[in-house]
Amino acid sequence: MNLLSVSNLNVNFHLKGQDLAALIDVSFTLNRGERVAIVGESGAGKSVLGFSIVNLIDKPGYIKSGSIKLDNKEITKMTRPQLQEVRGKRIAMIFQDPMMTLNPVLTIGAQLVEAIRSHTRISFKDAKNIAIEKLHSVQIASPEKRFHQYPHELSGGMRQRVIIATVLLLNPDIIIADEPTTALDVTIQAEIIQLLLDICRNNSMALLLISHDLGVVSRIAERTIVMYAGRVVEEGPTLEIINDPQHPYTQGLLNALPQMALPGQRLNQIVGSMPPLNERPTGCAFHPRCPYATDQCRQQQPGFINSGVSTVACFMVEDMLTDTNSDYDEEID
Amino acid sequence: MRYFKKDIITPAQSSRWSHIWAGFIGDKLATLALAIFVFYCLVAIFAPLLAPYNINNPNFMDLENAEIAPFWISGDSRFLLGTDAQGRDMLSVILYGTRLSLTIGVCAVLIQTALGICIGLISGYLGGRTDNFLMRCADIQLSLSTMMVAIVFLAIFQAMFGMAMYQQLAMLMLILVIGLAEWPLFARTIRASVLAEKQKEYVDAARIMGISPKRIMFKHILPNTLTPVLVIFTVQISNAIVAEAALSFLGLGMPANDPSLGALISVGFSYMFSGSWWICVIPSVTLIILILVMNMLGDGLRDHLNPKTYKD
Amino acid sequence: MFVFLLRRLVQAFVVMIIISVISFAIQNKLGDPVLQHVSMTVAPAERAQIRQDLGLNDNLVVQYWRFAKKAIHGDLGTSYYYKEPVLDVIFKKLPATFELAFCAIVMVAFIAIPCGILAAIKPKNIISRLVVALSTMGISIPIFIVAIFLVYIFSIQLHLAPSFGRGQTTDVFGLWESGLFSKDGLRHLMLPSISLAFALMPIFVRLIRAEMIEVLQSDYIRFAWSKGLNTRRIYFIHALKNTMLPVITVGGIQAGTLVAYTILTESIFQWPGMGFLFMDAVSRVDTPLISAYLIVVGGIFVVTNTVVDLIYGLVNPTVKLANHGL
């Protein structure tokens, strides 16, 4: 039984009289203790997906159809009090920019304690003890002192630790981390990644990591979902996807990594950029940038097939599979 | 939402104005406001031709015709909007009053703009101590409030030169006071835009090519800061007109024999108690509509000039 | 804290010096002080003697020094019209203005804050649509027109409230003539304070709404939602405090506008306060009174701005008061 299962999720944005699709038929599952990454360029809909899971999309956006089930309970149909129960206690979130995530006018302590006290009836003193213990567990020095400080008195890396501590307070089943290290220095990035990994392993929490950094993803996630223009294009075990990417977009992403280029050579960028919401092309949305695009790609949306490595939505892969299969068949004959 | 803003395409500079214009015309409220504003401007320009009576004619005041109600009440078709206590035709007086109010408003804002742009450019471009000093001045000026400065200044002026002299110079004084008192808004906006533009590469490029700072400011930076100025310009005209009206209402502005809308309302106020409400109400409504239209125009411009804002 | 107060004190000192120079210039240059002492018929020789006695032939700096020394001792001259020390005249009118401004501020605080918040958190609600529409209209209606219509409706048509004067006042500890403790006084206070509040209300409603909307879109509010906090805590603890920061700053800036508007309101309602007194003094060319008014208002200004900055520093932890000049 899956802990979280998202199926056929459609999220739209209502803008200037237009109804624009940000997420189209997104489906995936997350098991207890599993670490899954969602990868794609900015604008692919990764963050929207993260926010829709806890029903926190901003105003012009709304969930059009589809279901999000947590332990078989439908999140999209929950009332506000029920959602409050889920948020923080079952599913917690870590945001991109630690400088913006903590409320500047409240002390660290107040922001920690309120999270506990809004879910469990507990005295301030007990809550404070738990908070300090959690601050300690994310390797913050002198937590008693930090407890009374304001966010602006802490460095970026320190703040991200505080945020992780906040998330840990209630022992959630799932952590959704939306680019948790993008805004940090490279050295601190590595520490935070290690911290996240340790925490998930030790408490058997599931992690949904939203990232565009394949290096980070390969260190943490067991499974990877690649998104492009609001759709899932490829899904499979991280190792396999990185070693043998099937979808041309995934290949492009991997080729664009600095490690893949020889010194002095240009990076192998994917030509063009992600189309904005109101200019999504017909057929496979990736076809204008795809080196293998055919007429079929321009007109039809490919379905998912299992390539043996991953589940992928691409006509080229489909054709190759049928070709090899028929070759194989011929040989048997 | 963060995710979406990135995806909004910024159109190229040349097509941008036509794009904005198309959006603006598509906005019914803004178009209506623009139409009414144009109407007001035309009325103000052609007031001498449109007014049924010549207000400078000595026969214009005729106490025999005093306090006649508007045409739809009194049935007197000579005076469409009635007459005031001195027997002046309200319609003519209001037409001239609108002309005066708009003239003072526009001239005052032109002074503000010129002053604000110069100070803002200097402040933003030079930076450092000059910037610090000028912005401190702007802060103090803002915290003193235009109305307060104008009231004190005009009151002292009136006390110093006496009523007769003051009435002759009233219009000039109003334009100067309102014009000089509100420069910080423009200066701050320009400065902020200059600081933002200065970061961009084309300014560096221009400087490396050996173009003088003055030329960079006026040829390269200024055109890019004009959008916010246009928005403030519209809103400031409405503020200037309100300020003028308030000062005239206090008796520190235009005199009763050469009235702006504010002075008309001020005179009319005492007749509210005697039942001749139209002397006060009609100029009030004229003024309110004018200000409302200017504010709506400003809001409309803000919505369409700034590509980042969208309505939900 | 100490540094902040010291800086503030220095600043206040500079501002007061500037204001006193202006006041001195007014007293010195406006009207002929000699004519206030004797009539036109007095012989020129005698007038010259009076000039000498009044010290009007001295060097300007000496004259200013004398003026400043007297001012520090609370002597800003004698009103030509009231024949009383000007400070006494002004302080007699101070309570009226104070009560008017106080009532207006209370009204603005208790109406603008809830309305602004409501309009931000429930934009589709009928009441918040009404609030937004009214505040857009309100910003376009000058205060004196609001006052005129209030007078017309409540005073002339409905006879609910008087349109001028302060009505019955009670003496509080012999220090303060208050209109807040009698029914008549409150009835007189009604229309002027509503007009004054009306003038400030739309600015604050719009500001609070805009700030609240912006704050609610910020990452830290989203993070607060994701922690599963309840709605009330998010709106009133997390969002409101951040919303109020710019509101406090603007509140300080609006203090000047408030003073200007009291002059307008008092003139319309013939409210016997400082603003009304000032306009009277202007029309009578009562120069000592004009200059004293400027000094008193300047003083009030400096105090308000300091208090506003102090409050801002207390609410906003990222501001260290010592670094926060004007």
ipTM rounded to 2 decimals: 0.85
Pairing type for strands A223-228 and A35-39 reads parallel
Closest-CA residue to A106 (of A143, A144, A150, A169): A150
Spacing of C-alpha A62 from chain mean position: 18
- Cβ neighbours of A291 (radius 10 Å): 10
Structural tokens at position C230: 């309840």
Strand partners, A223: A36, A237
Whether residue B96 is contained in a domain is answered as yes
Choose the closest CB to C227 out of A88, A100, A150. Answer: A88
- Number of domains making up chain A: 1
CATH number at residue B88: 1.10.3720.10
| Local confidence band at B312 (pLDDT 50, 70, 90 cut-offs) | very low
Among B185-199, C66-80, C160-174, the range scoring the smallest mean pLDDT is C160-174
Hey, are the CB atoms on A277 and B7 less than 8 Å from each other? yes
Hey, are the CB atoms on C140 and B292 less than 8 Å from each other? yes
CATH number at residue A134: 3.40.50.300
Q: Cβ distance C220 to C238 under 8 Å?
A: yes
CA distances from C304 to A122, C22, C260, C290 (A): 43, 21, 15, 21
Other chains touching B, judged by 3 or more CB pairs under 8 Å: A, C
pLDDT value at C54 more than 70: no
pLDDT given for residue C325 in this prediction: 41
Which residues of chain B make contact with C144, given a CB cutoff of 8 A?
245-246, 249, 265-266, 269
Residue C69, C-beta contacts closer than 8 angstroms, at least 6 positions apart? none
Among A228-232, B276-280, C165-169, C283-287, the range scoring the smallest mean pLDDT is C165-169
pLDDT value at C298 more than 60: yes
- CB contact A272 to B (< 8 Å): no
Q: Which residue of B has its CA nearest to A18?
A: B312
In residues, how long is chain C? 326
- Cβ neighbours of A219 (radius 10 Å): 16
- CB contact B230 to A (< 8 Å): no
Size of interface B-C (CB pairs under 8 A): 102
- Number of domains making up chain B: 1
CATH homologous superfamily, domain C92-289? MetI-like (1.10.3720.10)
Which residues of chain B make contact with A42, given a CB cutoff of 8 A?
6
Q: Which residue of A has its CA nearest to B7?
A: A276
Whole-number average pLDDT of chain A: 86
Whether residue B273 is contained in a domain is answered as yes
| Local confidence band at A208 (pLDDT 50, 70, 90 cut-offs) | very high
Residue B311, judged by CB atoms within 10 A of its CB (0-12, 13-18, 19+), counts as exposed
Winning range, highest mean pLDDT, from A246-255, B13-22, C281-290: A246-255
Whether residue B108 is contained in a domain is answered as yes
DSSP string across C88-130? HHHHHHHHHHHHHHHHHHHHHHHHHHHHHHHHHH-TTSHHHHH
Which residues of chain A make contact with B4, given a CB cutoff of 8 A?
13, 15, 22, 60, 277
| Local confidence band at C326 (pLDDT 50, 70, 90 cut-offs) | very low
Instruction: Give the closest-approach CA distance of A80 to chain B in angstroms.
Output: 22
Hey, are the CB atoms on A100 and C219 less than 8 Å from each other? yes
Hey, are the CB atoms on A43 and B6 less than 8 Å from each other? yes
pLDDT given for residue C23 in this prediction: 81
pLDDT given for residue A98 in this prediction: 85
pLDDT given for residue B20 in this prediction: 67
Q: What is the pLDDT of residues C76-105, one digit of tens each?
A: 778 878 888 888 888 888 888 998 999 999
Whole-number average pLDDT of chain B: 78
Q: Which residue of C has its CA nearest to A59?
A: C217
Hey, are the CB atoms on B310 and A14 less than 8 Å from each other? no
Which residues of chain A make contact with C245, given a CB cutoff of 8 A?
105
Separation CA B251–CA B245 (nearest Å): 10
Best mutation target among A11, A12, A14, A16 (most B Cβ atoms within 10 Å) is: A16
Q: Which residue of B has its CA nearest to C157?
A: B273
Q: Cβ distance A152 to A125 under 8 Å?
A: no
Q: Which residue of B has its CA nearest to A280?
A: B7
Average pLDDT for residues C156-184, to the nearest whole number? 75
Whether residue B47 is contained in a domain is answered as no
CA distances from A221 to A98, A160, A237, C208 (A): 22, 20, 9, 44
- CB contact A22 to B (< 8 Å): yes
Strand partners, A32: none
Other chains touching A, judged by 3 or more CB pairs under 8 Å: B, C
Whether residue B272 is contained in a domain is answered as yes
Whether residue B74 is contained in a domain is answered as no
Separation CA C216–CA B249 (nearest Å): 42
Instruction: Give the closest-approach CA distance of C141 to chain B in angstroms.
Output: 6
Q: What is the pTM of this model?
A: 0.81
Backbone angles phi, psi at A233, to 5 degrees: -110, -25
Whether residue B60 is contained in a domain is answered as no
Instruction: With H, G, I as helix, E, B as strand and everything else as coil, classify residue B258.
Output: coil
Whole-number average pLDDT of chain C: 82
Q: Which residue of A has its CA nearest to B312?
A: A60
Hey, are the CB atoms on B139 and C326 less than 8 Å from each other? yes
| Local confidence band at B10 (pLDDT 50, 70, 90 cut-offs) | very low
Whether residue A146 is contained in a domain is answered as yes
Give the domain range for residue A33.
4-239
Only one residue has tokens 């200065």, namely B198
Secondary structure, 3-state, chain A: CCCEEEEEEEEEEEECCEEEEEEEEEEEEECCCCEEEEECCCCCCHHHHHHHHCCCCCCCEEEEEEEEEECCEECCCCCHHHHHHHECCCEEEECCCHHHHCCCCCCHHHHHHHHHHCCCCCCHHHHHHHHHHHHHHCCCCCHHHHHCCCHHHCCHHHHHHHHHHHHHCCCCCEEEEECCCCCCCHHHHHHHHHHHHHHHHHHCCEEEEEECCHHHHHHHCCEEEEEECCEEEEEEEHHHHHHCCCCHHHHHHHHCCHHHCCCCCCCCCCCCCCCCHHHCCCCCCCHHHCCCCCHHHHHCCCCCEECCCCEECCHHHHHHHHHHHHHHHHHHC
Helix (H) or strand (E) holding C79: none
Whether residue B179 is contained in a domain is answered as yes
Q: What percent of chain A has pLDDT over 70?
A: 96
Whether residue A317 is contained in a domain is answered as no
Q: What is the pLDDT of residues A58-79, one digit of tens each?
A: 778 888 888 999 888 898 888 8
Hey, are the CB atoms on A87 and C219 less than 8 Å from each other? no
Q: Cβ distance A141 to A87 under 8 Å?
A: no
pLDDT value at C322 more than 50: no
Which residues of chain B make contact with C257, given a CB cutoff of 8 A?
145, 147-148
Hey, are the CB atoms on B160 and C305 less than 8 Å from each other? no
Whether residue A249 is contained in a domain is answered as no
Hey, are the CB atoms on B159 and C217 less than 8 Å from each other? no
- CB contact A196 to B (< 8 Å): no
Strand partners, A74: A69
Q: What percent of chain B has pLDDT over 70?
A: 83
pLDDT given for residue B16 in this prediction: 61
Give the domain range for residue B181.
79-306
pLDDT value at B266 more than 70: yes
Average pLDDT for residues C20-41, to the nearest whole number? 68
- CB contact C290 to B (< 8 Å): yes
Which residues of chain A make contact with B1, given a CB cutoff of 8 A?
13, 57-61
Amino acid residing at C148: I
pLDDT given for residue B60 in this prediction: 66
Which residues of chain C make contact with A85, given a CB cutoff of 8 A?
228
Whether residue A141 is contained in a domain is answered as yes
